[in-house]
Amino acid sequence: MGVFAFAIGLATQSRAGNIIDCFFPAPVKSPDSDLEQAILDQFQSGTHTLSPESVSSFVREYQPTLEPMLEADCTLTSVLLNDDVGVSSTPEAFLKLHLLSHRLALPNTLNLDGIFAHLDTVAWTTEGALAVDELAERQLTARLEQRHFEVLSVDKFPKMTNYIVPSGVRIADSSRIRLGAYLGEGTTVMPSGSINFNAAALGPNMIEGRLSQGVVLGEGSDLGGGSSTMGTLSGGGEITITIGRNCLIGANGGTGIPLGDRCTVEAGLYITAGTRVSVIDEFGTKVRTAKGRELAGASDMLFIRHSETGEVQCRTNKKAIALNDQLHAHN
């Protein structure tokens, strides 16, 4: 028996006693042998409630960043996963979301089966997580006490920046980045950009469009304003969309097929698996007609729409998209 993932943190409970939120400041994935043995010696598999005193020696030796919790009047929660199996509790769900946003795991590498069943729809407020059936009372109390009380969202997923702010990123509107998003070093997310849980911008990237669940955007690639990528949650799709290095999805364009490196999709053009595409060689000659799925994963492709006929064309494109170094400087 080993340790796949482990964390100590704080849990929020509803009045009914259900855990609706967990915060794990220093999660661990696949620890080295010394730390793994220390975890196995002291902690039990699954989710458990602990006192700060019971974990003080472990925290001081192995996770000193958690020491402030030892001095607080609080109850701690530990989660120990021996294997990467489906999600069976709310703390396990939050641990896996933390692993993604802490850059300890890439999207599509964790078993997230069952995650929706173990995440309640929660009111995320300026006073923390709140069960939806407790919201009206809290709103009235705040008004009577003349306190500012804001409901930021009502959702299963909170925004990432209330838990983790990865190094070397810029985020213009943090409400559009869900916990469980992976933002690599050098990533810039503009006000209209959004990144779902279990999706990644590996960095450096410029995100002005939408990265859907399961989509991974490679180094040096950009999403133009209003562009989108097709995830696997809607419509029963099973294809995982990846976009390679140095690609550009133009404004209001998008892709429902994987792309290799150095690919461009013209602004306003959306390529899907069923899109009929005329393949044009380097001499400007039409070679054949293919569906989008037949071109999936290839590199050096330029997708455009003929301005007179409306024909969707794929041409060779061997010029990589150059990023603006100043836009990606976060120091």
The string of DSSP letters for 74-136 reads: --EEEEEESS-----SHHHHHHHHHHHHTTSS-TTSS--TTTGGGS--EEEETTEEEEGGGHH
Q: Which residues contact 157 (CB under 8 A, 6 or more apart)?
A: 97, 119, 178, 179, 180, 197
Answer yes or no: is pLDDT of 323 > 70: no
Which pLDDT does position 240 carry in this prediction?
A: 85
Write down the architecture of domain 123-155 according to CATH: 2-Layer Sandwich (3.30)
% of the chain at pLDDT higher than 70? 93
Can you give the residue ranges of every domain in the chain? 5-118, 123-155, 160-316
Q: Note whether 5-118 and 123-155 share their fold.
A: no
Which pLDDT does position 231 carry in this prediction?
A: 79
Assessment of whether the complete model's pTM goes beyond 0.85: yes
Residue 1 confidence class, pLDDT cut points 50, 70, 90? confident
- Stretch 263-281: mean pLDDT, rounded? 94
Residue 239 confidence class, pLDDT cut points 50, 70, 90? confident
Residue 285 confidence class, pLDDT cut points 50, 70, 90? confident
**Residues 169 and 188 sit within 8 Å (Cβ to Cβ):** yes
Q: Which residues contact 197 (CB under 8 A, 6 or more apart)?
A: 97, 100, 157, 178, 179, 180, 181, 213
Residue 27 confidence class, pLDDT cut points 50, 70, 90? very high
Q: Which residues contact 91 (CB under 8 A, 6 or more apart)?
A: 11, 19, 22, 47, 77, 79
Answer yes or no: is pLDDT of 318 > 90: no
Length of the chain counted residue by residue: 331
Write down the architecture of domain 160-316 according to CATH: 3 Solenoid (2.160)
Work out the mean pLDDT of the chain and round it to a whole number.
93
- Asked if CATH classification 1.10.10.10 holds for the domain at 5-118, the reply, yes or no, is no
Which pLDDT does position 235 carry in this prediction?
A: 45
β-sheet bridge partners, residue 182: 200
Residue 282 is a catalytic residue: no
Which of 145, 150, 185, 208 is flagged as catalytic? 208
Higher pLDDT, 237 or 297: 297
Give the single-character DSSP code of 34. H
The token duo for 1 is: 């028996």
User: Would the CA dihedral through 26, 69, 6, 41 be positive or negative?
Assistant: positive
* DSSP letters spanning 265-315: E-TT-EE-TT-EEEEE-TTS-EEEEEEGGGGTT-SSEEEEE-TTT--EEEE
Distance from chain centroid for Cα 260: 21
pLDDT digits (tens, 9 = 90+) for 128-171: 999 999 999 999 999 999 999 999 999 999 999 999 999 999 99
% of the chain at pLDDT higher than 90? 88
Residue 321 confidence class, pLDDT cut points 50, 70, 90? very low
Answer yes or no: is pLDDT of 287 > 50: yes
Which pLDDT does position 317 carry in this prediction?
A: 66
**Residues 287 and 274 sit within 8 Å (Cβ to Cβ):** no
Helices of type H across 189-293:
none
